């Protein structure tokens, strides 16, 4: 039974009712609620109504019903424990802690259940004090095949309008699609620490290294650091401000530096859902390619559940120098992804994303304003080998449509890897 702020209550029936399927619980609540006017005050009815209300997200109604039970049966430890759960689910951790503490003092409570409830009280105490600190991370190692390591066209010849009188020209190896086998290492660590009851500092460091077996020219690596501050409101909504820096390498040489800031507001909803609104700014500096240097602005709206996340975003990337304005562009896109368990140890993962880019001025060689649309899709399986070690085969596909043939390409990868989470 998931409580506010990630607390999990797992007590044996009947001292805490087992959470029902949300759809079934809501149907039961809708059938009981119309009877409340006639049957309120009957402890058995009020208790059944309260459990259905909690499990379907009607926490206020559950609190009122359980208070009626306790008015008639003040020593009902089961009802008081459920009242504590209702308060916690509603976000009132102080009252939930007080109600659980009262249950713990009940002399009729079996010792194993008393110990469990004492643990809940300690969890609430930590949350009231700010939640303490936590560190988590992961490491992923995988290998596979990439049909287009340089994201290039599969054409061998192309006509450049500016030099059309010369006819079609041959593309060099670096400008044509190349396939290769590769291995990739990805890892990250993140931490959060409370500085007050509602305020936290957080940070993360993420790294990636990819090595192609036969071609080093398109080997890639990146390192991204993020640090910020988050404030939780009384209704459990969260606002955060963070700074971010990134270094990207290509063929072991520095290729691009990025630094910027992110502001995000997260509105919490029932049953673990949330809506996020964010704004982000990044400065992009390309080593040895000053015409590509740019300021990037983006806004995004997201929706998250326990199994699904969806995002829409839009923005502008504006080159710093006017001479590079052909690289300036507007962009917009949408993505959706999820993970769905099919058994205790196996889950299916998948996602799809689409974005479009419209460039500001005509390309100097092709004499048209570049226009791109890109589709990305992935499908994989997550197999639990142990409690925190997973085997993950995965397939991805990318298709980029462009009105300039040089940038029109498709690509797929097939990989298998091991992921360790801690």
Tell me which DSSP letter residue 34 carries. G
What is the C-alpha separation between 84 and 94, in angstroms, rounded? 10
- For residue 238, the cross-strand partners are 232, 266
- Here the tokens at position 93 are 């951790």
C-beta separation of 144 from 174 below 8 A: no
Angle (CA) 44 73 111, round 5°: 100
Which two tokens mark 194?
């409370």
Asked if 81 contacts 11 with a C-beta cutoff of 8 angstroms, the reply is yes
pTM for the whole thing? 0.70
In tens digits, the chain (422 residues) has pLDDT values of: 333 333 333 333 334 444 556 668 888 899 999 999 889 889 999 999 999 998 888 999 999 999 999 988 888 878 888 888 888 778 776 777 777 777 776 666 666 666 666 776 766 666 666 666 788 999 999 999 999 999 999 888 787 776 767 767 788 777 889 999 999 999 999 998 888 878 889 999 999 999 999 988 999 999 999 999 999 887 889 999 999 999 999 999 999 999 999 999 999 888 788 999 999 999 999 999 999 999 999 999 999 998 889 999 999 999 999 999 999 999 999 999 999 999 989 999 999 999 999 999 999 888 899 999 999 999 999 999 988 999 999 999 999 999 999 999 999 999 999 999 99
pLDDT at 160: 78
pLDDT at 21: 62
- Give the burial string for 329-354 (b: 16+ CB within 10 Å, else e): bebebbbebeeeeeeeeebeebbebe
What structural domains does the chain harbor?
4-128 (1.25.40.10), 133-421 (2.40.160.40)
Beta bridge partners of 376: 353, 398
- Sequence-separated (6 or more) residues with CB below 8 Å from residue 368: 161, 362, 403, 404
Helix (H) or strand (E) holding 42: none
- Mention every residue, 6+ apart, whose C-beta is less than 8 A from residue 249: 220, 221, 222, 255
In 3D space, the residue among 309, 308, 388, 310 whose CA is nearest the CA of residue 341 turns out to be: 308
């Amino acid at each position: 039974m998931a409580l506010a702020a990630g607390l999990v209550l797992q007590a044996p029936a009947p001292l805490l009712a087992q959470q029902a399927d949300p759809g079934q619980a809501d149907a039961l609540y809708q059938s009981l609620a119309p009877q409340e006017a006639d049957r309120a005050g009957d402890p058995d009815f009020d208790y059944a109504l309260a459990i259905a209300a909690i499990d379907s997200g009607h926490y206020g109604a559950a609190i009122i019903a359980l208070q009626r039970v306790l008015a008639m049966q003040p020593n009902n430890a089961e009802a008081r424990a459920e009242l504590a759960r209702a308060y916690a689910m509603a976000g009132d951790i102080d009252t939930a802690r007080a109600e659980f503490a009262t249950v713990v003092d009940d002399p009729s409570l079996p010792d194993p259940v008393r110990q469990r409830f004492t643990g809940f009280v300690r969890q609430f105490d930590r949350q009231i004090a700010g939640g303490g600190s936590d560190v988590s991370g992961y490491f992923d190692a995988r290998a596979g095949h990439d049909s287009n390591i340089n994201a290039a066209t599969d054409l061998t010849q192309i006509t450049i309008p500016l030099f059309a009188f010369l006819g079609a020209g041959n593309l060099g190896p670096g400008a044509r699609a190349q396939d290769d086998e590769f291995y990739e290492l990805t890892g990250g660590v993140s931490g959060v620490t409370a500085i007050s009851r509602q305020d936290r500092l957080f940070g993360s460091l993420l790294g990636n290294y990819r090595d192609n077996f036969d071609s080093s020219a398109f080997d890639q690596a990146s390192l991204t650091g993020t640090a910020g501050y988050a404030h939780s409101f009384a209704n459990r909504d969260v606002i955060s401000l963070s700074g971010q820096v990134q270094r990207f390498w290509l063929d072991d040489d520095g290729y691009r530096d990025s630094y910027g800031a992110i502001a995000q507001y997260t509105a919490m909803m029932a049953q673990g859902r949330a809506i996020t609104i964010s704004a982000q700014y990044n400065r992009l500096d390309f080593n040895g390619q000053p015409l590509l240097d740019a300021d990037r602005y983006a806004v995004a709206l997201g929706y998250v559940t326990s199994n699904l996340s969806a995002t829409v975003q839009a923005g502008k990337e504006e080159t710093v120098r006017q001479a590079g304005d052909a690289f300036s562009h507007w962009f917009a896109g949408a993505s959706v992804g999820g993970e769905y368990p099919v058994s205790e140890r196996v889950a299916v993962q998948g996602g799809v994303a689409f974005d479009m880019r419209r460039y500001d001025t005509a390309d100097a060689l092709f004499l048209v304003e570049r226009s791109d649309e890109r589709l990305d899709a992935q499908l994989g399986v997550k197999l639990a080998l142990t409690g925190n070690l997973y085997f993950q085969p995965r397939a991805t596909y990318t298709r980029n449509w462009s009105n300039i043939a040089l940038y029109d390409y498709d690509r797929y990868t097939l990989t298998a890897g091991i992921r360790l989470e801690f």
